[in-house]
């Protein structure tokens, strides 16, 4: 079996897995319906584009389908960007303005329409032979690359901002899903980089042995990328809690404030009052505690509380609350009367919702695992 057949098999498996996952996302019952639909479209568009690995000499009678494959790539990066927005922000909704993202797709199809979609067989062949020398072809190629870079850079920035806001406003320590999305974004970016290498070799050396090897690498990279995404999705079925898009990083809310402001008497009183409230009322025991809910209990504006914790106490809300949870867990672990409680029971009791996040936070705070801490305490 030669290299081309290996490539076709790998591409067929990858396309089948992508389409199967897309179908699952469209049919599964979940609250993340919008995000799933956007992801399903993104995967479908990638599957359509990956059909190039299964094609050699495309019949001219079916060139319309091949032209559609060329054009759908203009929706791939836009759909991924919208997907990132939908999973990072719980209140994201598609609006008429988002149709603007489809303008390049429509424009490219209008460019192809006279020579391919509405032309006869002879016109199609003439158009295809001269297509690579047309200025508009180069323009659309440049436009595609520009859009890809803009959309994926924007996706990186959104994920980074979401992680910052998450740490400043939420206490659920399971931010690994955001890290997973970040890795997936990098993986797709690397996949596109292989495509750029293929284009560069084609322009420099033409179609030859080197290009064939890069195409093979591209095909296997597509399969690997698909398997990786499926692996992540299966390991993190909750895939994203999301944050409120109206929330901003504290540095944006108070841009002119120094990083280590002087704590005056009034701020010190507020800090002490906050600490007393955390000890007496123990709001941190609620695993879904947010800075908004804590501010309501304190009868304090959310913005003021966020500034107090993130700026004056120099802690993320995430770390601020988890310190109290760890302190509570340490008390339980040291208490001989509660030695029958398992680590899992303790972590749920103090407000955590996963063993891995509890162990990570506990070791970060104490330098020991919960099990080692309990052994040494006794």
Residues 203 and 101 reside in one and the same domain: yes
- Amino acid 127: pLDDT: 86
* Overall average pLDDT of the 238-258 stretch: 53
Average pLDDT of the residues of the chain? 80
Of 235, 258, 289, which residue is a domain's last? 235
Domain of residue 343 covers 250-377
Q: What is the pLDDT of residues 331-362, one digit of tens each?
A: 999 888 888 889 989 988 998 877 877 888 88
Does pLDDT of 235 surpass 70? no
The reply to whether 156 falls in a domain is yes
- Amino acid 1: pLDDT: 52
Instruction: Indicate which CATH number applies to the domain containing 300.
Output: 1.10.10.60
* Overall average pLDDT of the 218-245 stretch: 61
Does pLDDT of 245 surpass 60? no
The reply to whether 339 falls in a domain is yes
- Amino acid 191: pLDDT: 79
The reply to whether 345 falls in a domain is yes
* Overall average pLDDT of the 97-120 stretch: 92
* Overall average pLDDT of the 151-180 stretch: 77
- Amino acid 150: pLDDT: 93
The reply to whether 52 falls in a domain is yes
The reply to whether 240 falls in a domain is no
Query: At 256, is the pLDDT very low, low, confident or very high (cuts 50, 70, 90)?
Result: very low
Residues 43 and 169 reside in one and the same domain: yes
Q: What is the pLDDT of residues 9-29, one digit of tens each?
A: 777 787 888 888 888 878 877
SS3 per-residue string spanning the chain: CCHHHHHHHHHHHHHHHHHHHHHHHHHCCCCCHHHHHHHHHHHHHHHHHHHHHHCCCCCHHHHHHHHHHHHHHHHHHHHHHHHHHHHHECCCCCCHHHHHHHHHHHHHHHHHHHHHHCCCHHHHHHHHHHHCCCHHHHHHHHHHHHHHHHHHHHHHHHHHHHHHHHHHHECCCCCHHHHHHHHHHHHHHHHHHHHHHHHHHHHHHCCCHHHHHHHHHHHHHHHHHHHHHHHHHHHCCCCCCCECCCCCCHHHHCCCCCCCCCCCHHHHHHHHHHHHHHHHHCHHHCCCCEHHHHHHHHCCCHHHHHHHHHHHCCCCHHHHHHHHHHHHHHHHHHCHHHCCCCHHHHHHHCCCCCHHHHHHHHHHHHCCCHHHHHHHHC
* Overall average pLDDT of the 365-372 stretch: 89
């Amino acid at each position: 079996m030669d290299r081309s057949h290996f490539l076709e098999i790998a591409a067929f498996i990858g396309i089948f897995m992508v389409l199967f996952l897309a179908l699952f996302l469209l049919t599964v019952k979940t609250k993340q319906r919008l995000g799933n639909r956007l992801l399903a479209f993104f995967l479908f568009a990638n599957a359509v584009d990956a059909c190039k690995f299964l094609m050699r000499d495309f019949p001219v009678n079916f060139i319309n389908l091949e032209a559609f494959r060329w054009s759908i790539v203009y929706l791939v990066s836009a759909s991924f960007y919208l997907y990132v927005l939908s999973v990072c922000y719980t209140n994201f909704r598609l609006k008429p303005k988002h149709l603007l993202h489809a303008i390049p797709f429509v424009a490219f199809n209008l460019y192809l329409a006279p020579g391919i979609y509405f032309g006869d067989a002879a016109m199609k062949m003439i158009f295809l032979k001269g297509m690579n020398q047309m200025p508009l072809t180069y323009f659309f190629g440049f436009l595609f690359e520009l859009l890809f870079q803009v959309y994926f850079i924007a996706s990186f920035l959104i994920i980074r901002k979401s992680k910052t806001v998450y740490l400043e406003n939420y206490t659920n320590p399971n931010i690994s899903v955001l890290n997973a999305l970040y890795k997936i974004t990098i993986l797709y970016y690397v996949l596109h980089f292989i495509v750029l290498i293929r284009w560069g070799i084609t322009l420099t050396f033409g179609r030859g042995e080197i290009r064939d090897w890069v195409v093979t690498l591209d095909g296997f990279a597509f399969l690997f990328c698909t398997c990786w995404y499926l692996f992540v999705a299966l390991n993190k079925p909750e895939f994203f809690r999301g944050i409120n898009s109206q929330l901003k990083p504290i540095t944006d809310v108070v841009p002119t404030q120094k990083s280590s402001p002087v704590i005056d008497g009034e701020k010190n009183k507020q800090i002490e009052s906050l600490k007393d409230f955390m000890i007496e009322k123990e709001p941190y025991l609620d695993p879904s505690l947010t800075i908004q809910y804590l501010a309501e209990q304190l009868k304090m504006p959310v913005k003021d509380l966020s500034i107090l914790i993130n700026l004056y106490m120099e802690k993320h809300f995430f770390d601020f609350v988890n310190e109290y949870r760890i302190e509570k867990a340490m008390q339980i672990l040291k208490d001989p009367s509660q030695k029958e409680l398992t680590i899992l029971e303790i972590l749920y009791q103090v407000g955590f919702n996963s063993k891995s996040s509890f162990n990570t936070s506990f070791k970060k705070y104490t330098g020991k695992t919960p099990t080692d801490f309990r052994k040494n305490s006794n």
